Amino acid sequence: MFYRTELKDHIRVPPNIFDVPLEEAIVQRVKKKYEGYISKDFGIVIDVLSIDNIGEGIIIPGDGAPYYKIDFELLTYKPEMQEVVLGKIKDIADFGAFINLGPIDGMIHVSQTMDDFVSFSKEKVLTGKESKRVLKVGDSCRARIIAVSFKDLQNPKIGLTMRQTGLGKLEWVEEDQAPKEAAKPAAKKKGKK
């Protein structure tokens, strides 16, 4: 889920950017420090939204750069358990599919791709034995997050499933809902008799 996260920090403005207006210099330094930053507490930093308050600069003896206490707001993405996400299949391996969720990739184990026996082909395609459904690179899918691990902060792991109603390749979801939509008017007619 995407969040607006408010933080406070002391930001160092090096002497080589003293010619830049203060607010612009602060934004540059905050972006350099926080963009792409990953934390278990607030997830993955996408962007700096705003600098809300810049305190008075303090110079620490031995360092020619001022430090400013600032309040700022970040746009972050923190994957939540049971969250339903949309993404595109980025790669397929014999053990599952990798799906791009925007700021991060998740993995769908082959057993979680569909309710069918699934085979893998060298063309990087997963095919259901009975349903003949095909999952390939570039397909748009809806999945649910079933595992989140920030054990390695440089490479967080997201586990996904597509084996629940309303999940899977978007074309599959439409196919599954089409018979239900067609059955609704028939059910209403029976009730009117």
Reading the chain (193 residues) residue by residue, the pLDDT tens digits are 899 999 999 999 999 999 999 999 999 999 999 988 898 888 899 999 999 999 998 988 888 899 999 999 999 999 999 999 999 999 999 899 999 998 899 999 999 999 889 999 889 999 889 989 999 999 999 999 999 998 888 889 999 999 988 999 999 888 888 766 665 665 555 555 4
> What domains, with CATH codes, occur in the chain?
2-77 (3.30.1490.120), 84-176 (2.40.50.140)
Judge contact between 162 and 168, C-beta under 8 A.
yes
CA dihedral defined by 120, 122, 123, 129, rounded to 10 degrees?
-30
Give kind and range of the element (H or E) at residue 132. Answer: none
Using the structure block, give the residue that is written with the tokens 């809806």: 142
pTM reported for the whole predicted model = 0.77
